[in-house]
Copies of this chain bind each other. A is one copy, B any other.
Amino acid sequence: MSEKLDQIYDQLKELHREVNLLVSISALVEWDQRCFMPSGGSDHRAEQTSWLAGKIHKKSTKNKIGELLSELEAAGIGKGLDPRDVNVREWRHDFDLRTKLPQEFVEDLSRTTSLAQDAWVGARKNNDFGAFQPWLEKIVALKRREADYLGWKNEPYDALLDEYEPGAKTEEVAAVLGGLRDQLVPLLKAIKDSPRKPRLDILHRDYPEAAQEAFSKRVAAAIGFDFNRGRLDVTAHPFCTTIGPNDIRITTRFIRDHVNAAFFGVMHEAGHGLYEQNVLAEHKYTPMGEAVSLGIHESQSRMWENSVGRSLAFWQYWYPEAQKAFTALKDVSVEDFTFAVNAVEPSFIRVEADETTYNLHILLRFELERALLKGDLQAKDVPAAWNEKFKAYFGLDVPDNANGCLQDIHWSAGLIGYFPTYSLGNLNAAQFFVKATEDLGDLEAMFAKGQFAPLLGWLRTNVHSHGRRYRSADLTKVVTGKPLDSKPLVDYLKKKAEMWYGVKG
């Protein structure tokens, strides 16, 4: 590139450096709100987050950015796959997305979701949908406006989905999820009919919180999460956030008589954290140093949570330590424990759902929010619709809204269009794992010896270090040589069903 183009590129980097600094400050402010802020701080916090959101929007939508990008694009930059091309292409993508939203709208949405999250915490605690309903109405209306600002062809939901998973289409996601459901329903039926049952009581004994925290931190460190560059804290609804390139924070909630909730929650969030800790520092503040999409992010968290954390090999290594940490496990065999954490059984809470039913939880939410956006469903009717669908998919009566439509933070945070990315994550995790095994050999044999570095290294090379070089569908093809397919996930779940339940899928 000529010197002039170099200067323009550097100007763009500097403009985005400032935006990213503000985003990182905003991440800290939100982390604090969810982990530590006293209740009285709520109103002022809404003013802080609203100011930050407005400032981020303003700085990331400066005309200057569009002008500078146009100059580079006119010189043919932004079409290839080297870092400079990728950054220009992705800056353009983000700029176009953001400039469609007026600043006033962004501030309104930020203020509303900040207050709605506090309302949700109370509503969930008191099992009081009525206290949350007006906020859900406001948020759906705002998100419908957002879809209109962004533009859509088939249905408004397309525009929202595209924000989290660029390029994905509602119809296609509906087809994949529907297809997955068609393959999993007979499998679930066979599992239900199997005489073999896990000893679930094992998981609901007395597991002191402090021991849970010490053990899960130790495992997170062992799989590669760097606590000199991160933290683990307690919150109501676990998440992972990036405060800075060397400050990645994960969260969990410890439940004394429910050991698997926090442990696999930590494995999950550590999976997200490993992605953030292993993008390339040299690309700090640019798309080449960022994660591809929520779906790819979720592929990392689900892989560490499930493909690694729920494997018998993993527990063959860690179980003696777990038995030392928890007297509750003294008389339990590693097989009984691992079967219990691989139990397949319809349940109410998504974050505690097993791998086989998980995607049905997603399908339910996806269908409801799609209908809310279309206007086919009203906020006030969400509990009834939720409970009806739940009965149809899971065969269970939802006991209360805290175990139903109030369980997730997402809608209160304005995250509509986000849920499908979880299923895209599961599908990619399975497909990546098959390829990693082809490349590295028997991964489970490594887990059984406490060796997790080979898998992390493979992920760093094949996924993390690419940053946003490839869009998610392309990354799947580049890494595995094939387009995204439900077969690896279905094969994986069938193998587990055979192993634990003696069921042939």
In the complex, per-residue mask of A1-30: 1 if CB is within 8 Å of any chain B CB, else 0: 000000000000000001001101100110
> Which residue of the partner chain, among B21, B28, B47, B227, contacts A32 with CB atoms under 8 Å?
B28
- Cα distance A428–B318 in the bound complex, in angstroms: 61
Most buried by B among A227, A245, A246: A246
Smallest CB–CB gap between A275 and chain B, Å?
A: 16
A residues 11-58 touching B (CB-CB < 8 Å) = 18, 21-22, 24-25, 28-29, 32, 36-45, 47-48, 51-52
- Cα distance A51–B47 in the bound complex, in angstroms: 19
Please determine whether B243 and A41 come into contact, CB atoms closer than 8 angstroms: yes
In the complex, per-residue mask of A462-473: 1 if CB is within 8 Å of any chain B CB, else 0: 000000000000
Q: Does A231 contact B (CB under 8 A)?
A: yes
Q: Does A244 contact B (CB under 8 A)?
A: yes
Smallest CB–CB gap between A279 and chain B, Å?
A: 14
Please determine whether A227 and B38 come into contact, CB atoms closer than 8 angstroms: yes
- Cα distance A24–B244 in the bound complex, in angstroms: 20
In the complex, per-residue mask of A57-78: 1 if CB is within 8 Å of any chain B CB, else 0: 0000000000000000000000
Q: Does A230 contact B (CB under 8 A)?
A: yes
In the complex, per-residue mask of A450-490: 1 if CB is within 8 Å of any chain B CB, else 0: 00000000000000000000000000000000000000000
Question: With A44-B245, A45-B247 given, is the CB distance from A230 to B25 under 8 Å?
Answer: no
> Which residue of the partner chain, among B44, B230, B231, contacts A246 with CB atoms under 8 Å?
B44
Contacting residues, chain B, for A233 (C-beta < 8 A):
36
Please determine whether A38 and B245 come into contact, CB atoms closer than 8 angstroms: no
Contacting residues, chain B, for A243 (C-beta < 8 A):
37, 41, 44
Smallest CB–CB gap between A15 and chain B, Å?
A: 13
Please determine whether A21 and B40 come into contact, CB atoms closer than 8 angstroms: no
- Cα distance A43–B281 in the bound complex, in angstroms: 13
Q: Does A228 contact B (CB under 8 A)?
A: yes
Please determine whether A43 and B246 come into contact, CB atoms closer than 8 angstroms: yes
Question: With A18-B51, A51-B21 given, is the CB distance from A45 to B228 under 8 Å?
Answer: no
Chain B residue nearest to A37 (CB atoms) is B247
Contacting residues, chain B, for A21 (C-beta < 8 A):
47-48, 51
Question: With A25-B29, A29-B25, A51-B18 given, is the CB distance from A45 to B244 under 8 Å?
Answer: yes
Please determine whether A230 and B51 come into contact, CB atoms closer than 8 angstroms: no
> Which residue of the partner chain, among B28, B36, B247, contacts A38 with CB atoms under 8 Å?
B247
Contacting residues, chain B, for A18 (C-beta < 8 A):
51
Number of interface residues of A (CB under 8 A): 34
Chain B residue nearest to A226 (CB atoms) is B40
Contacting residues, chain B, for A244 (C-beta < 8 A):
41, 43-45, 48
Q: Does A330 contact B (CB under 8 A)?
A: no
Please determine whether A48 and B24 come into contact, CB atoms closer than 8 angstroms: yes
Please determine whether B41 and A246 come into contact, CB atoms closer than 8 angstroms: yes
Smallest CB–CB gap between A469 and chain B, Å?
A: 23
Please determine whether A247 and B41 come into contact, CB atoms closer than 8 angstroms: yes
Q: Does A229 contact B (CB under 8 A)?
A: yes
Contacting residues, chain B, for A52 (C-beta < 8 A):
25
A residues 213-258 touching B (CB-CB < 8 Å) = 226-231, 233, 243-247
Chain B residue nearest to A26 (CB atoms) is B25
Question: With A36-B231, A38-B247, A39-B228 given, is the CB distance from A44 to B24 under 8 Å?
Answer: yes
Contacting residues, chain B, for A246 (C-beta < 8 A):
38, 40-44
Please determine whether B29 and A247 come into contact, CB atoms closer than 8 angstroms: no
Contacting residues, chain B, for A227 (C-beta < 8 A):
38
> Which residue of the partner chain, among B28, B40, B48, B247, contacts A229 with CB atoms under 8 Å?
B40
Smallest CB–CB gap between A326 and chain B, Å?
A: 21
Smallest CB–CB gap between A234 and chain B, Å?
A: 12
Contacting residues, chain B, for A38 (C-beta < 8 A):
227-231, 246-247
Contacting residues, chain B, for A45 (C-beta < 8 A):
244, 247
Most buried by B among A21, A38, A52, A245: A38
Smallest CB–CB gap between A166 and chain B, Å?
A: 27
Contacting residues, chain B, for A44 (C-beta < 8 A):
24, 243-247
> Which residue of the partner chain, among B29, B39, B245, contacts A28 with CB atoms under 8 Å?
B29
A-B contact pairs, 12 of them (CB 8 A): A25-B25, A25-B51, A32-B32, A37-B243, A39-B228, A41-B229, A41-B246, A41-B247, A42-B246, A44-B246, A44-B247, A48-B244
Given contacts A40-B226, A41-B243, 5 further A-B contacts (CB under 8 A): A25-B52, A28-B28, A38-B231, A44-B244, A48-B244
Top 7 closest pairs, chain A to chain B, by CB: A44-B244, A41-B247, A40-B246, A40-B229, A40-B228, A41-B244, A21-B51
